[in-house]
Structure 1
Amino acid sequence: MLVPEFPDTQDKQPTIPISLTRVGVTGVKKLLKIKREDKRPIILLPTFNAFVDLPSTQKGVHMSRNPEVISEIVNEMEYESEVHMETICANIVKKLLEKHEYAVCAETEARSEYIINKLSPVTKRKTQETTQIIAKAVALKDDDGNIKIRKMIGAEVVGMTVCPCAQESVEKDSKEKLLEFLDEETTEKVLNVVTFASHNQRGIGTILLEVSEQQEVNVDDLITIIQNAMSSPVCEILKRPDENRIVTNAHQNPVFVEDCVRNMAKGLLEKYPDLPDNSTVTIKQVNQESIHQHNAYAEKTASLGELREEIN
């Protein structure tokens, strides 16, 4: 059967000759099975976004090539072991530039829910916690046709934060009331053993780290760093002793949204001291406020070299 040839409308000149930064597809879902030696495979359902730039001389991109490339790369890596999502993204952007000969920049992002197993803090009940894995890659083609790729891996994790300033005001108010019927020494003893109330937030921490072909960063490490940056991790299954432990520990470790970002930066440098100075990292924290309608936000984007210089 002969397949009819249709006109390539995308290759025509646009009516308005303006170049576009990113054109492509979003929301492409794929099943990804990551094999591991001596362990059960990890099953992910990542959602891909894939874009290329468009010159002012091109009316449109050949849009079907983007989901085709995603499918081809995912299928090619189906039988590979220890596949990394950032490597999949890197392979996608490289192939996008090969398919879209008019483009000089390609970008791909993938996000997937990732389940981690843990135990509740006191009763040790098994529970599954949902986090997000994030992977990105950007490819640039120079005038000679050489392609340079940058890839990033990251995680987004939910935790709990406790406001330090509200807690200080509660402690000050409590001290004044205690001094009405206790002496200074006894009051200080009470203050040292009592956990003071404050308002809480559900915190969402994110790390997105640039890595090279020679570097491996375990996403589980990033999840741990994010969790430790907040007042406390959260847990899906909690009995009363577990609730008490989490709430008490969180109120003994109050942090601002700014503290969370700084804690993540410090934790990342301590965990991966050998990552090169020119690796870029973006660290974000969003605290969903309980006593305001707005949320609190903090972010740091820098090279690891810049972070090391600031901390030292």
Structure 2
Amino acid sequence: MNAPENIFLPDVQASLDERNIVIQKVGIKSVRHPVTLQTQTGTQPSVAMIDMTVMLPSNVKGTHMSRFLEVLQNHHEPLNLASVKTMMVNMLNRLEAEEGHLDLKMPLFLKKVAPVSGVESLLDYDLHIKAAFKDGGLKYTLQVQVPVTSLCPCSKKISEYGAHNQRSHIVIAAELTEDMAAEDLIKIAEQAASCELWGLLKRPDEKYVTERAYDNPKFVEDLVRDIAVALEQERKVIAYEVSSENFESIHNHSAYAWLSNDKRNRH
């Protein structure tokens, strides 16, 4: 009997396809895998949901799905622009492809200090890294979803006392020319809000955040515009999308705003 490694197994995926149709994205989707994040305070372990795809030429029948997992299993560097670029290069080389996409979604936990009591706690944020390689260039986008508090300026203006507020989700997707920490984008979102959030608050902190939001009312339109102003000043950001969904406390629907800008359009 022949040893298993000596048995000829045909490579069906590499055979010729005569339909002459290019597939722009083919690969693996929704792979849950441990990763390491590069943060401003060091590295942090996380678990990501990952999509990895490449372009398949019109004359090739199929891609080699196992090779995507090989690339992922062999990647041990903390995630940032440089290491994601390395992963992209390794994937394209291993799959013998000219175009590819990487999509990684994971939670990021940051330690926060309550504004009055100083008590420490963790707050979770959604982090999304998107990379696309085409025509010899890499497009790298860092996206964060940031929970904040927003307080309605109209409600404050027309009411004798009080004003309705709500929790909001701000999403910033920034296309970068250089590496940028997720914390920097999170800070931009939190500074634009009526008030930021903390995981743990004592009574003096609750008083602070209530009064802070009341003194800093923001429409959903204000949120995205103020963030856009800040992103315009960031030289590492070449293009961006910003959205905010305010989960209304006096309605059974959300208020929503979205904007985008590509700084390259100025030239």
TM-score of the aligned structures, taking structure 2 as reference length: 0.85
Pick aligned residue for 1:275 from 236, 255, 261:
236
- The CA deviation at 1:156 is 1.8
Aligned to 1:200: 165
1:60 maps to a residue whose letter is G
1:95 aligns with 2:60: no
Query: Structure 1 residue 8 and structure 2 residue 11: aligned?
Result: yes
Q: 2:183 aligns with which of 220, 224, 235?
A: 220
Cα distance in 1 between the residues matched to 2:26 and 2:71: 15
1:295 aligns with 2:258: no
Residue 154 of structure 1 aligns to a residue whose secondary structure is strand
1:154 matched to 2:157: no
The more displaced of 9-18 and 23-32 is 9-18
In the alignment, is the contact (CA less than 8 A) between 1:161 and 1:230 conserved in 2? yes
Matched residue, 2:152: 163
2:118 alignment partner in structure 1: 124
User: How does 1:1-312 map onto structure 2 within 5 Å?
Assistant: 1-3=3-5, 4-12=7-15, 18-33=21-36, 41-72=43-74, 74-75=75-76, 77=77, 83-101=78-96, 103-141=97-135, 147-170=136-159, 174=160, 196-212=161-177, 215-270=178-233, 272=234, 274-275=235-236, 279-304=238-263
Supply the AA of the counterpart residue of 1:206: V
Specify whether residues 57 and 291 from structure 1 end up closer, same or farther in structure 2 by C-alpha distance, changes over 3 A only: farther
SS in 2 for 1:253: coil
Residues matched between the structures, number: 263
How far apart, in 2, do the equivalents of 1:201 and 1:58 lie? 53
User: Is residue 161–residue 201 contact of structure 1 (8 Å, CA) maintained in 2?
Assistant: yes
Tell me, in whole angstroms, the C-alpha distance in 1 between the residues paired with 2:83 and 2:99. Answer: 17
Structure 1 residue 34: deviation in Å? 5.7
SS in 2 for 1:223: helix
Amino acid at match of 1:197: G
- 8 A contact 1:89–1:109 mirrored in 2: no
Q: Is the 8 A contact 2:179 2:236 kept in 1?
A: no
Match of 1:46, SS state, is: strand
Counterpart CA distance in 2 for 1:87 and 1:288 is 37
Secondary structure, in 3 states, of the residue corresponding to 2:72? helix
C-alpha displacement at 1:305, in angstroms?
5.6
Equivalent residue letter for 1:20? I
Aligned pair in 2 of structure 1 residues 105, 288: CA closer, same or farther (>3 Å)? farther
1:69-102 CA deviation, whole Å, 9 max, x = no partner?
1222x23x3xxxxx4433332222222222233x
Distance 1:40 1:300, change over 3 A: closer
Residues 284/35 of structure 1: CA separation in 2 closer, same or farther (3 Å cut): closer
Asked which structure has the greater CA Rg, the reply is 1
User: Partner amino acid for 1:46?
Assistant: A
SS at structure 1 position matched to 2:4: coil
Q: Quote the Cα distance in structure 1 between the aligned partners of 2:38 and 2:21.
A: 45
> Which runs of no fewer than 5 residues in structure 2 stay unpaired?
none
Query: What residue ranges of structure 1 are gaps of 5+ in the alignment?
Result: 78-82, 142-146, 175-195
2:175 partner amino acid:
E
Q: Is the 8 A contact 2:111 2:122 kept in 1?
A: yes
Give the drift of 1:265.
1.6
CA-atom RMSD in angstroms: 2.7
Aligned partners of 1:86 and 1:135 also within 8 Å? no
Q: Deviations over 1:8-32 (max 9, x none)?
A: 3333466865433322222323333
SS in 2 for 1:93: helix
Give the counterpart letter for 1:269 in structure 2. E
CA contact under 8 A between 1:86 and 1:152: conserved in structure 2?
Answer: no
1:107, distance to aligned residue in structure 2 (A): 0.7
Give the C-alpha shift of residue 167 in structure 1.
Answer: 2.8
Identity %, equivalent residues: 26
Report the AA paired with residue 120 of structure 2. Answer: K
